Structure 1
Amino acid sequence: MRIGFSVPQFGPFADPDRSAAMCTALEALDCHSLWVGDRLLSPLTPPDGYASGGPMPVRYGTHLDPLLALGLAASVTERVRLGSSTLNALWQPPLVLARALTTLDLISRGRLEVGIGLGWMREEYQATGVPWQGRGARLEETLDVLDAVWCGDPVVHTGRLWTIPESTVLPKPLQGPRPPILLGGFTPPALERVGRRADGWLAASMPVPYLDGLWAVAAEAAERAGRDPAGLRRVFRVNPEVTTVEADPSEIHHRGTVRQICDHLRVMCGSATDEVLVDLQLTTDSPEEFLDLAAAFMAELTGP
């Protein structure tokens, strides 16, 4: 099992100096990776689709840009993998996105994990002027453009949404033929796309029967595409509500003691390439508390 943590970037952690110092400290815990999230705004009226059905956490209204925060993390670390979970890929043209991600891969000396998805908040699409309808097709062509830019020389693309004339687009990413691409999502079409096109799935901590049903969709899609499902990675995000007393077993995919939550994460991880992403930005309020809890998760997940 690989262990990752969130890059501090939301709420009280949305301070470049604080985030940089915390990224250095997290790498010193010997974790495997650090991951940024992506939010543009926090509507005052509860948005459609938010998991709890209530208002979003207030601290999502205060945030650092994910790609710039990842560049900051790259500048103060040496070893950890650096990823996005999940970057909403459709809010900018894919050629512009490819340039930014290539630069991040070079800055980080080949440590980039490209985790992208559709997002779920209509309000953010409205604010960026990107159509809500047709998101799946837009993501498919975005992946086509990323492949063309990263693997083509010269680069050329003709699609329904974007056209790139035969061009030189350099430099290429340090990782060849391209950085790993992981896709988010929790619907059958999203998992089918993971199996058909991605290197892995940006998942979440969830009840195991639900996980098994979703993963079967990705595995079957991979087989149909002539790919080996065993080669697909999985990154399980958890935003834990940590308690001092044991929680009900039905809740331990997101709530419970550190040991309960870690026990569930261990059950979910079925291979050495599976990874857990512990996001403590909604759990803690200070750098000290964040790092102490990160150390507790590391000790529990790496212990006997």
Structure 2
Amino acid sequence: MRIGFSVPQFGPFADPDRTAALCAALEAMGCDGLWVADRLLAPVAAPRGYLGGGRMPARYATHLDPLLALGVAAAATARVRLGSSTLNALWQPPVVLARALTTLDLISHGRLDVGLGLGWMREEYEAAGVPWQGRGARLEETLDVLGTMWRCDPVAHSGPLWTVPESTVLPKPVQSPGPPVLLGGFTPPALERIGRRADGWLAASMPVPLLEGLWAVAVGAAQRAGRDPAELRRVFRVNADVTRAEADPAQAHHRGTVRQICDHLRVMCASDTDEVLVDLQLTSDSPERYLDLAAEFLAELRQPAG
């Protein structure tokens, strides 16, 4: 099992100097990856489609840009993988996104994992001026353009949404044929896309029966596409709500003591290539508490199950 943490970038952690110091400390503690998230705004009214209803946590209104935060993390570290879980892929043209991601791969000397998703908040799409309808097709062509930008010389693309004239676009990423691309999503079409063309799945900690059903869709799609499902990575994100006393076991996929949450994560990780991503930004308010909890999770996750 690989162990990753969120790049501190929200609420009280939305300070570049604090972000850099915490990323360096997390790497020194021995984690394997650091991951940014993507938030454009936090509506004052309850956003449409928000899980559980109601308003979003107040700290999501204060945030650092994910790609610039990854640049801060890259400069502050030397070993850990750096990724996005998830970057909303459709809020900028894919040629602009490809340039930024290539630069990050160069800055990090080939440590970038590109995690892309569609997001869930209509209000952010409205603010970005991007249509809500047709998101799946827009993502498919975005992936086409990214692949072309990273692999081809000269570059050219002609599609329903974007046209790139035959051009020279250099430099290319350090990683060849490009940084690994992992996709988020929890619907059958999203899992089918992952199996068909991604390097892995940005998943979440969830009840195991739900995981098994979703993963079977990706496995089947990979097999139909002539790909080996065993080569697909899985990153299980948990927005940890850490409690002092044991919580309801039915909530252990996201809420409970450190041991409860880790026990569930160990059950989910079936191979050495699986990774957990522990986000501590909603359950800690200071750098000291963040690092204390990170140390607890690292120590616990390195213990065998049971």
TM > 0.5 fold call: yes
> Paired residue for 1:238?
238
Q: Which secondary structure does the structure 2 equivalent of 1:300 belong to?
A: helix
Q: Which residue of 2 aligns with 1:5?
A: 5
**Alignment partner, residue 199 of structure 2:** 199
State the 1:206 CA deviation: 0.2
AA matched with 1:152: C
| Identical-residue share of aligned pairs (%) | 79
User: Unaligned 5+ residue runs, structure 2?
Assistant: none
The residue type equivalent to 2:92 in the other structure is Q
2:30 is aligned with 1:27: no
> What is the SS of the residue equivalent to 1:91?
coil
Distance 1:36 1:244 in 2: 27
Supply the AA of the counterpart residue of 2:226.
Answer: G
The alignment's C-alpha RMSD in Å is 0.5
Partner of 2:213: 213
**Residues 85-142 of structure 1 deviation map (CA, whole Å, 9 limit, x = unaligned):** 0000100000000000000000000000000010000000000100000000000000
Aligned equivalent of 2:259: 259
**How far apart are 1:303 and its partner, in Å?**
2.5
1:267 and 1:167 map into 2 onto residues whose CA distance is 48
Task: Report SS of the residue matched to 2:90.
Answer: helix
Secondary structure of the 1:157 match is: strand
Matched, 1:188 2:169: no
Aligned counterparts, 1:57-136, within 5 A: 57-136=57-136
> What SS class does the counterpart of residue 164 from structure 1 fall into?
strand
- The one-letter code of the counterpart of 1:117 is G
- SS of the aligned residue for 1:106 comes to helix
> 1:286-301 residue pairs with structure 2 within 5 A?
286-301=286-301
- Which residue in 1 is equivalent to 2:140? 140
Tell me the SS of whatever aligns to 1:238: strand
Q: Extract unaligned runs of 5+ from structure 1.
A: none
How far, CA to CA, are the matches of 1:135 and 1:176 in structure 2?
A: 28
Which secondary structure does the structure 2 equivalent of 1:90 belong to? Answer: coil
State the Cα distance separating 1:249 from its structure 2 match. Answer: 1.2
Deviations, residues 55-80 of structure 1 (Å, cap 9, x unaligned): 10000000000000000000010000
In structure 2, distance between residues paired with 1:167 and 1:241: 49
Determine the C-alpha separation between the residues in 2 that align with 1:261 and 1:273: 19
- Aligned positions, number: 304
CA distance in 1, matches of 2:253, 2:259: 11
- Report SS of the residue matched to 1:120: coil
* TM-score computed with the length of structure 1 as normaliser: 0.99
* Corresponding residue number in structure 1 for 2:229: 229
Distance in 2 (alpha carbons) for counterparts of 1:264 and 1:35: 21
Separation in 1 of the partners of 2:65 and 2:248? 37
Letter in 2 for 1:219: V
Partner of 1:41: 41
